[in-house]
Copies of this chain bind each other. A is one copy, B any other.
Amino acid sequence: MELQFDEKGLIPVITQDVKTKEVLMLAYANEEAIKLTLKTGFAHYWSRSRKKLWKKGETSGNVQRVVEIRYDCDCDALLYLVEQKGNACHTGNYSCFYRRLEGDEVRC
């Protein structure tokens, strides 16, 4: 079976710290990003806002060494298990998931 890319040629990628198991971020990859990740050992994604291939940390230095890539039962999601250098989030937080939905409000 082939990996299932969406109509934009992308597949969602969950990135998890291989040691602490903290979920760091959710991003997207196209086939080229996955190939570069496998080839270089560093996490690559497709930036939907900048519409370009993106090596995580290429400007900030906060690279992610990818220890393992897993895929799910439907072949339509990936999990990168990484060693994170510095912080994963551009806000300076270690994980992008640093805030909690409170009460019953569907707001962020």
Contact = CB atoms under 8 A, between A and B. Distances in A.
Interface residues of A, number: 43
A9 B77 CA distance: 19
A61 to B, nearest CB: 18
For this chain, the copies found in one complex come to 2
Interface string A38-63: 11000000000000000000000000
A69 to B, nearest CB: 4
Nearest to A106: B34
Contacts of A78: 101
A7 to B, nearest CB: 11
Interface of A: 1-3, 12, 14, 16, 20-23, 25-26, 31, 34-35, 38-39, 68-75, 77-79, 89-91, 93, 96-101, 103-104, 106-108
